[in-house]
């Protein structure tokens, strides 16, 4: 059987030199069919479908190292099914420019389709109808895989004189005859992205290629990385290396571009287990965890089955402790978050097999709050850990590097209920906490004279933060203290009254929030209002404390 493949038309033709497509072939089961294939080219694209004069045909040979495969598949078994018959072995006749194949039609697949392989001779099928014949070839080792563009329908008839063909052989699997759509075409001659030369990827012709074809090459433009591109329909502008327009791109007739799908550094090849060759490191551009599944706490415990879980409280309680996480082995990483932000999960340190970084429990009371844990072979460890802010004032937050027994914590116990206090720092390095000036006066009736009780001049720039005072007396007290700067009352007056008493001492406190510059005159004016008018009331020792910070600015 002689077959002619027209390289211009990219299809089999009935007569070399004419455009008429070959649309059917007939074979007989049990035979070995010799197929003599010739590649050639008809005159030009405008030739008529038939001519009066003798047709012309220029036979062509493929380059050295070319590969050709032919195969037949049953109707409806187009992609994953076995071939009825196929081969990729041929003999080349360089002089005649032909390629001869021996196509085995005595295969188990053909015999099964014809019911020839059973003992019942009455159920045999006369022929296999509407099978499809196809060829794939690479014209050279560097060329892309091409395939015939028109289907050729095949009929395989049952033989008449059977029984002497020998034992049927198995036809090859479809993977031996990979089609273009199922392969990545490696381009060893390409070493650059763009430039228009044969060594540049944008020179690959795309007019006769289909969207979905994939290509790979080593890109010397980027230190010889290995790149894989897909040919897609589109008009995207060139933006190498992500998008490359082929040189034969046309605005309306061939709207296809190459899209980058994979880049692998050649200096650090990945092995089968995902590690970089020569190391135990895993190269990950992005880590995406499996979608979280929900675990419900049961008597303080859950069992992890994957790397990401949401945790819910037992019986949907408002709050529940998570003491133990079963499952996992050394090196595993686990991410957890609450299943519902309205139900609080408290990750307990040291109760079960969970250890937090600072030994504090971790409260998860919002769905966006997460904890990452690492398994050390025994326990799950939270590497960052700690309770969500604000922390309890029992939590130490700083330790001395030379002596780790020296710890610092803040105590909020003296702050009134429902109040937030602000610790404001000055604009220079300073010791934490303000300095104190303490002054003492006698709060008798003589203080109600309108004369200042204390005057001083600032030597530094100061910021007065607040002040407080006390009077030790058994009687009732109503004393007002004013703070004056350069003769003007500023800040909040300090009132000490009987209502604010503890035992025989009466207290008062007020914020000042006053800046005073060096040279400013500070005056303290004390007034004893008394319980029966000016000049009356209890007398006693008045102590005042002024809290301030030095502010060099």
pLDDT value for 93: 92
Q: Among all chains, which residue has been given the structure tokens 């008394």?
A: 530
pLDDT tens digits for range 196-226: 898 999 999 888 788 888 999 998 887 668 8
Of 179, 196, 220, the residue at which a domain comes to its end is 179
Tell whether 25 and 83 lie within a shared domain.
yes
Start-to-end C-alpha separation, the chain? 102
Are 320 and 297 in contact by the 8 Å Cβ rule? The answer is yes
pLDDT value for 168: 67
- For residue 201, which phi and psi values (nearest 5 degrees)? -65, -35
Distances (CA, A) of 333 to 293, 295, 300, 329, 382: 15, 16, 20, 9, 10
Determine the Cα–Cα distance for residues 550 and 553; give it in Å rounded to an integer: 9
pLDDT tens digits for range 226-283: 899 999 999 999 998 999 999 989 866 889 999 999 887 766 566 666 665 555 566 6
pLDDT value for 50: 40
Determine the Cα–Cα distance for residues 153 and 133; give it in Å rounded to an integer: 6
Q: Is residue 422 part of a domain?
A: no
Are 199 and 190 in contact by the 8 Å Cβ rule? The answer is yes
Query: Residues in the chain with pLDDT < 50?
Result: 47-53, 176, 385-386, 443, 445-450, 532-538
Tell whether 173 and 221 lie within a shared domain.
no
Tell whether 153 and 197 lie within a shared domain.
no
Q: How far is CA 373 from the centre of its chain?
A: 19
Contacts of 390 (CB under 8 A, 6+ apart): none
Q: Interior CA angle at 101 toward 99 and 102, to 5°?
A: 160
Give the number of domains in the chain: 4
SS3 readout for 124-166: CCCEEEEEEEEEEEECCCCCCCEECCCCEEEEEECCCCCCCCC
pLDDT value for 299: 96
Look up the CATH number of the domain holding residue 378: 2.60.120
pLDDT value for 137: 87
Of 130, 154, 179, the residue at which a domain comes to its end is 179
Of 382, 406, 421, the residue at which a domain comes to its end is 382
Tell whether 25 and 174 lie within a shared domain.
yes
Q: Which domain holds residue 523?
A: 435-550
Q: Is residue 395 part of a domain?
A: no
Q: Is residue 172 part of a domain?
A: yes
pLDDT value for 535: 38
Q: Is residue 394 part of a domain?
A: no
If we measure between CA atoms, which residue out of 65, 8, 7, 64 comes closest to residue 37? Answer: 7
Tell whether 59 and 172 lie within a shared domain.
yes
Tell whether 211 and 341 lie within a shared domain.
no
Tell whether 375 and 504 lie within a shared domain.
no
Q: Among all chains, which residue has been given the structure tokens 């046309």?
A: 250
Q: Among all chains, which residue has been given the structure tokens 């415990």?
A: 301
Look up the CATH number of the domain holding residue 455: 2.60.120.380
pLDDT value for 536: 42
Q: Is residue 37 part of a domain?
A: yes
If we measure between CA atoms, which residue out of 295, 316, 314 comes closest to residue 304? Answer: 295
Determine the Cα–Cα distance for residues 106 and 124; give it in Å rounded to an integer: 15
Determine the Cα–Cα distance for residues 469 and 526; give it in Å rounded to an integer: 11
Tell whether 164 and 27 lie within a shared domain.
yes
If we measure between CA atoms, which residue out of 356, 317, 532 comes closest to residue 445? Answer: 532
Determine the Cα–Cα distance for residues 401 and 407; give it in Å rounded to an integer: 10
Distances (CA, A) of 352 to 61, 79, 322, 461: 77, 55, 9, 56
Q: Is residue 503 part of a domain?
A: yes
Q: DSSP assignment of 230-245, as one string?
A: EEEE--PPPBTTTEE-
Tell whether 314 and 248 lie within a shared domain.
no
Number of helices and strands in the chain (H, E): 1, 39
User: Peptide bond before 390: cis, by omega within 30 degrees of 0?
Assistant: yes
Tokens of 49: 């479908």
Q: DSSP assignment of 150-214, as one string?
A: S-EEEEEEPPSS-S-S-SPBPPPPGGGG--GGGSEEE-TT--BSSSSSTTBGGGS--TT--TT-E
Tokens of 116: 């020839």
Are 252 and 234 in contact by the 8 Å Cβ rule? The answer is no
Determine the Cα–Cα distance for residues 361 and 395; give it in Å rounded to an integer: 11
Distances (CA, A) of 36 to 18, 90, 409, 440: 19, 9, 92, 121
Q: How far is CA 203 from the centre of its chain?
A: 34
Tell whether 153 and 17 lie within a shared domain.
yes
Tokens of 467: 């002040």
Q: Is residue 396 part of a domain?
A: no
Tell whether 454 and 479 lie within a shared domain.
yes
Tokens of 264: 């692998």
Determine the Cα–Cα distance for residues 135 and 62; give it in Å rounded to an integer: 14
Tell whether 13 and 101 lie within a shared domain.
yes
Give the predicted TM-score (pTM) of the model: 0.34
Q: Is residue 398 part of a domain?
A: no
């Amino acid at each position: 059987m002689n077959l002619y493949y027209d390289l211009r038309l990219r299809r089999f033709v009935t007569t070399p030199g004419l455009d008429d497509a070959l649309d059917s072939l007939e074979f007989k089961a049990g035979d070995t069919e010799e197929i003599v294939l010739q590649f050639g080219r008809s005159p030009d694209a405008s030739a008529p479908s038939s001519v009066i004069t003798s047709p012309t045909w220029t036979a062509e040979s493929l380059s050295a190292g070319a590969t050709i495969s032919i195969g037949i598949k049953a109707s409806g078994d187009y992609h994953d099914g076995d071939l009825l018959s196929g081969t990729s072995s041929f003999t080349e006749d360089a002089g005649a420019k032909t390629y001869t194949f021996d196509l085995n039609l005595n295969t188990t697949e053909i015999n099964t389709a014809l019911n020839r392989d059973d003992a019942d001779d009455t159920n045999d099928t006369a022929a296999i109808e509407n099978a499809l014949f196809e060829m794939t070839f690479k014209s050279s080792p560097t060329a892309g895989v091409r395939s015939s563009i028109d289907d050729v329908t095949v009929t395989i008839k049952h033989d008449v004189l059977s029984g002497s063909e020998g034992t049927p052989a198995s036809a090859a699997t479809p993977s031996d005859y990979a089609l273009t759509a199922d392969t990545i075409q490696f381009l060893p001659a390409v070493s650059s992205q763009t430039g228009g030369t044969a060594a540049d990827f944008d020179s690959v012709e795309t007019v006769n290629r289909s969207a979905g074809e994939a290509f790979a090459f080593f890109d010397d433009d980027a230190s010889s990385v290995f790149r894989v591109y897909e040919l897609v329909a589109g008009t995207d502008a060139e933006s190498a290396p992500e998008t490359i327009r082929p040189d034969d791109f046309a605005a309306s007739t061939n709207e296809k571009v190459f899209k980058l799908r994979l880049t692998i550094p050649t200096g650090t090849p990945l092995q089968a287990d995902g590690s970089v060759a020569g190391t135990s490191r895993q190269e990950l551009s992005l880590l995406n965890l499996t979608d979280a599944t929900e675990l419900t706490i049961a008597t303080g415990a859950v069992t992890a089955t994957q790397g990401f879980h949401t945790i819910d409280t037992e019986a949907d309680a408002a709050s529940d402790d998570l003491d133990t996480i079963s499952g996992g082995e050394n090196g595993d990483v686990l991410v957890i978050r609450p299943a519902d932000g309205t139900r609080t999960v408290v990750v307990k340190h040291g109760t079960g097999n969970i250890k937090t970084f600072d030994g504090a429990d971790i409260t998860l009371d919002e769905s966006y709050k997460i904890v990452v844990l690492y398994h050390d072979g025994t326990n799950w460890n939270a590497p960052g850990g700690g309770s969500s802010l604000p922390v309890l004032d029992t939590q130490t937050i700083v330790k001395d590097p030379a002596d780790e027994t020296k710890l610092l914590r803040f105590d909020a116990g003296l702050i009134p209920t429902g109040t937030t206090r602000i610790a404001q720092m000055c604009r220079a390095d300073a010791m934490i906490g303000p300095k104190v000036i303490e002054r003492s006066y006698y709060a008798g009736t003589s203080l109600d004279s309108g004369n200042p009780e204390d005057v001083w001049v600032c030597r530094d720039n100061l910021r007065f933060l607040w002040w407080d005072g006390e009077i030790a007396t058994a009687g009732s007290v109503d004393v007002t203290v004013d703070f004056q700067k350069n003769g003007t009352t500023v800040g909040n007056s300090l009132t000490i009254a009987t209502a604010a008493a503890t035992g025989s001492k009466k207290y008062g406190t007020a914020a000042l929030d006053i800046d005073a510059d060096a040279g400013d005159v500070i005056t303290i004016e004390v007034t004893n209002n008394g319980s029966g008018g000016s000049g009356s009331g209890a007398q006693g020792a008045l102590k005042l404390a002024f809290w301030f910070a030095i502010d060099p600015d």
